Each structure stands twice: as C-alpha cells, then as structure tokens.
Structure 1
Amino acid sequence: MKYKLEAGQKLDPNEFILKGFEDLEISTQIVIRDALNRGLEVEVLDRPSHFIRLKGQGVTRLVKEASKTELDSYMTFLVMENKTVTKRILEESNILVPKGTAVSDLNAGLEFLNQNSDRKMVVKPVTTNFGIGISILPPSSSQEGKKKALEIALGFSETAIVEEFAEGNEYRFLVIGDECVAVCNRIPANVTGDGKKNIRELIEEKNSDPRRGVGHVTPLEKIRLDDTELNVLKESGRTTDTIPAAGETVFVRKNSNISTGGDSVDVTDIAHSSYKILAVQAAKAVEAKICGVDIIVKNLESEGDYRILELNFNPVLYIHNYPYSGKNRKVGEKILDVLGYSS
C-alpha cells in the first residue's frame, strides 16, 4: 500500500499514534509521519516486519524498523551485535569500556568471577537486546548466584561477557550521521508513593497514562508485575501491598530499559559536549551512520570518567521524540536528512 499527502496537508508530529498505522512499532510511525509531511511517498512493503520504502526528490530508500537503512553495512550490524568485537574495536580507538572477559563455558566464567569476587560484576550474553539475559552480581556473591547468572547468559548466546560494573548513570546517546542528535536518561520502572496507595495500585495508576502500552506501539511500555518485578520488590523487603511514603520512589526493575516499563527523560541540553563528541567517535569506529551509544558517566554535566557499555544497531526513536519528560528532539527528521531528503 502506498501513501502520500495532498498538497498542503500536514500530520501533527505531536500525535504519537498515527492513524492507519497503529499496528506498526512507534519508531516506524515517526518516520512515516515525517516522510509524509515532507511530501514523500511511503510504501509499506511488509507490515509485520515494519519494512517501508520512501520515494521522492529523486531518491528511493528502504527502511526497516525506522533506523535500519542501507547507510549501515551488514558488517557494521554484525560488529554492533557482538559486544566482544565492539569492545575490542572501541579499545583500539582509545575509547574506555568496562574491563572484563568473554567466556564460552561455565567454569571459565566462574574462575573470572572468583578472581574478582570483591567487585560488583555484570554477566551478559555477547548478543542481546532490551536488557535480556543480563545479571548484576554484588561483591561476594554466592557461587550459586554466579553460576545462575552465567547459565542465564550462556542460554541466550554461545559466549557471555563478564565485566566490571561501571559506576555512574547510564545514558543513551543517539548518533545520526556525524551528529549526536539526542541524549536520554532511561530510568528503571518505578512508582512514587503518595502515602495512601499500595505499590500495585500505584502501578495501575501509572499504567493508565495513554502513552503506556504493550509492544512498542506507544512511547512507553506498561509496568508489569511478573516474577522479575516481584523479586526486586522482595529483595527490598516490599510486596505489592506495601504503601510507600509520600514522595518515596520504589523501583520494580534493576535494568533501565524502556521496554520493561522504564521512564525516558530527555537530557540533551545538559549533557556535556565531550560525551556527545565521544558518542560520534564511537559510532565512527564501527562505521555506523545510525547508532545508539550507551554511556555510563558519573556527572553528565561535566567532562569526566565514563565507560561505553555498548553500541546499538537499531536504536529506537520514540524515547527521543516522545520522552516521559523533556523535549521532542524530532529525530525522525534527522533520519530523513541523513537519507538525503531535504525538508
């Protein structure tokens, strides 16, 4: 099916649901809306895989899932998919990454963890998305805990990465072309108490926000109460019936992924320029034109210590266009710019 707006017709870029495209993930909806507003023809080639074709201004481009384009090679994708290779290339470019090792069997992983038992460690699959298969181990973790973390990671990939836990806050830097166009702080799924409602009720209230849905078709995902969330509450001595004090923030997830109910906070304006430059350098190191760079920093507003956690080959756009709080960075427009379409 092909779509094109009539002359003078415009779609509201602040409407996060695009009528007629509700089944597509929201990042793709952003690109479609912005493309139509530029007078381009949009053809949906395959709805289930969010595959579209853009035509206009003498240029034809294929786009999959909003940020997969011909500008990035298959090898660039393979490099970013493999965290071990990514770390190696970044280190060779004198870019700091967490110190660690890659293991392909349980015993090797346990040996490395035991050698670093006094430190907080992270265990994750060499290839993963949305925080899946990642475990954080506190100092002096039990052998059982270490073994479980390795088994989980190796269950998702033939190789697991075992590395130091980088202290600080994690931010997503979105690089498009030669520019860092947006910076987002992703906060783990949480609720704030009012002194009256219990945690379950607070989650239900927060999930009633129309921006929260299921399946990446809205800017935010609903907070769940599955085993992972219940275990996080249990570890903090709480249950779903606990009534937090007014103003008290309770986290129900440890990972900061928006896909598991986290909040997206735009911090582009306060991010120090050194980190934006670093993000662009990291993307260039793997020859990526569109890249999500995850950086841990201790103080975002001043130049200092950092670690790059990973590079993402298919970064979502909606956390920057429709953040939980902050400005719309209009990153769909930036995608069209780099694809060669003038505004």
Structure 2
Amino acid sequence: MADTKPLPLGYEDLEISTQIIIRDALARGIQIEMVDRKENFLRLKQGNHIEFVKEASKTRLDSLMTYLVMENKIASKLVLDEAGIRVPVGRNYSSLEDTLKDYEFFLDKKKVIKPVTTNFGLGIGISNPGDSLEKFTNFVQIALGLSSSIIIEEFIEGPEYRFLVLGDAVVAVCNRVPANVLGDGKSSIRQLIVKKNEDPRRGEGHKTALEKIQMSEVELNILKDQGLDFDSIPEFGKQIFLRKNSNISTGGDSLDVTELVHPEFKSIAIAAAKAAGAVICGIDIISSKIESKPDPKTYAILEINFNPVLYIHEFPYSGKPRFVGDKILDLLGFN
C-alpha cells in the first residue's frame, strides 16, 4: 500500500510489532538498545528518559496483576461481568471428569471450549449442538492439555473484532476473518492456499504483516466438517474457511473497520480496559451488528488481550492502515 510507512532495515528477525516501535522511535531520535533480541526486549533512551519495552506493547504502564487478570480468562470475565459489561455465559472447569459431568447440559447448545491461559487461539474448539461425547471429550482434552483450567461458554454468532485500546482511546479496530480461500471454479483448495500464501505480506513467526495459511490436520478436519478436503474444487466465488478461530497468527485476514463501528462499541471497549486496569490492551468483541447501537442480544466481549499486536492495524489485509506505534511512544512520554 502506498500510504504505509516502510519498516527499518536490519530488524527483520524481530516480531513485526517490535519493528514498528523501532521505526517510530528512530524517527523521533530515540536511542534503541537491544536488551534481548530473541525476546524482542528493547530499552529506549531519549536524554534522561529511559523505558523498557517488550514485544512492542508490554511496558511499565500496565502492572503485573493487570497482565495476570487479562491473561486469565476466568479473572477477566469476572471483572467485566462485575462492571456490567456483556460477556458470554459459561462455566469453568479444572478436570476432565468434572467437565464431562456437564456434557448433557451443553448437548443442545453451540459452545466454545477454550483454555484459560493461552493466546493466538491455541486449543480453542467450537462444539456444535448434538456433538457426540467422543467429539466433546476431544475438545476438552485439547484445551486441558494447554491450561490447567478451561472455560465452556455460549457461542455467539457474528464476526470478531479487535479493538486496540491505548490509554483512554480506541485507536484502531479490525475485523479478524478466519483463514480462508475464495473459489475460482477450477483450482483445488490446496492450490488456492498456495496461491494466497504467495502474497509477500504472508510469512511465519509474526515477522510479516500476515501469516501463511497452514495445511495441517487442524485445517483438514475443518474441511472434513464441510464435506471437503484439500483436493476439493470450490465453485466460483465461494469462500471456504480453514479455521474456526479468527486469529491472524493462524492465517486469518485483518480488515480495518475503525470508521465503521458504532461509537458506543468503542466506549464499551474502553470501559472493558478500565475494568481490568489496563492502559494498553486489545479487546475482542463479537457482534453481528457492529455498525449499530450495541444490543446485548447480538454482541459480547470475548477476551481482553494483554499483549495486543500492532501489525494487524498497521498492515491490514484490506482497509486503511492505522499508525499505532507512535501512540504507544506518546503514552510513554517520549517527545
């Protein structure tokens, strides 16, 4: 895109969000000291002003307890619920035995099964009404394999949106679309994935604006649920989803919608951040009517993210780039 700001040379091995902070710091004449390159850990100096920044959005502005509350989905749901903010209805568990006791309770419901303390959509399963005990158990075991506790909650229909809250403002909003390809009537899903992955913005390890779409067992199982496989040829114009989670880290697309969302949703995101005591965070909201006045029947807050990536807003798959790195430097008090 012509209106993007190029990243500095020599930092390509770092996460792209860290590259953004370095670019904007250098433009201000701020000295960059690499504390731990593999950990994307920086020290920024401007005269006598010194700040540590890890992974672009971890700073002194948020306390350790704030991080812990945001990281733990049970704790974050608690503070949101107590603040009167709409969250999905659900229950939490710490053992397979206790979870399976509620199999019948959830049987006729579409539900999300997710670990309490993971990021990037790891271990999240979406179980449909009527799913067998075997399938339900498999989702639970995957989630418990990644966290000592899990949450099972109502599935709310609609696109998922990431609100980037910095201080007292929502500075960017993007619609995160799960990994997908668009049929052309002649290419297999495998060929469509390969072609989409040729986009130079797609790479691996959070060092590029977008991540490559994988062709693992996870994607194959999602296709099988649709009666498809990697060799299927979708009809022209048909969108095929390869993931149920919308994370950009698993090949999803980021679509900037900052100017489309209803202002009250931005107020809700700010209130959610304040409920957790957060200065820098990402608020994930699911809503089927994001352009309209919020209705508790059609939206809920899914998560508060303690380490929101910047690149999905700076380098969206489509839409207007939002330059957010400078706003973090402003919050830290740099000139």
TM-score, structure 1 length as denominator?
0.94
Residues 224-252 of structure 1: per-residue CA shift (max 9 Å, x gap): 10111111112211122222222111111
Q: Report matched runs for 1:65-214 at 5 Å.
A: 65-214=55-204
Query: Quick check: 1:314 aligned with 2:304?
Result: no
1:84 Cα deviation from its structure 2 partner? 0.4
Provide the C-alpha distance between the structure 2 equivalents of 1:227 and 1:167, rounded to a whole number of angstroms.
Answer: 25
1:47 is aligned, of 13, 37, 41, to 37
- CA offsets, 1:279-322, max 9 Å, x none? 01000111100000001112010012321111000000000000
Partner of 1:227: 217
> Percentage identity across aligned positions?
57
What is the CA–CA distance in structure 1 between the aligned matches of 2:252 and 2:47, rounded to whole Å? 39
Does the alignment pair 1:238 with 2:231?
A: no
| Cα distance in 1 for residues equivalent to 2:25 and 2:9 | 15
Unaligned residue ranges in structure 1 (runs of 5+): 1-11
Between stretches 110-119 and 206-215, larger displacement belongs to: 110-119
Structure 1 consecutive aligned stretches of length 4 or more whose deviation exceeds 4 Å: none
Aligned to 1:263: 253
Q: Bigger shift: 203-212 or 107-116? A: 107-116
CA deviation vs aligned residue, 1:201-228 (integer Å, no higher than 9, x gap):
1111111110000100000001110111
Q: How far did residue 16 of structure 1 move?
A: 5.1
The residue aligned with 1:332 is 325
Provide the rounded CA distance (Å) in 2 between the counterparts of 1:317 and 1:205.
26
Q: 1:289: which partner in 2?
A: 279
Q: Deviations over 1:10-55 (max 9, x none)?
A: xx98355431000000000000001111111111111100000111
Q: Secondary structure at the match of 1:156?
A: coil
Q: Are residues 255 and 201 of structure 1, via their aligned partners in 2, closer, same or farther at CA, if it must alter by over 3 Å?
A: same
Question: How far apart are the structure 2 equivalents of 1:250 and 1:282?
Answer: 33
CA distance, structure 2, for counterparts of residue 235 and residue 159 of structure 1? 27
Aligned residue-pair number:
331
Contact 1:13–1:34 (8 Å) recurs in 2: no
Q: Distance in 1 between the 2:37 and 2:240 partners?
A: 38
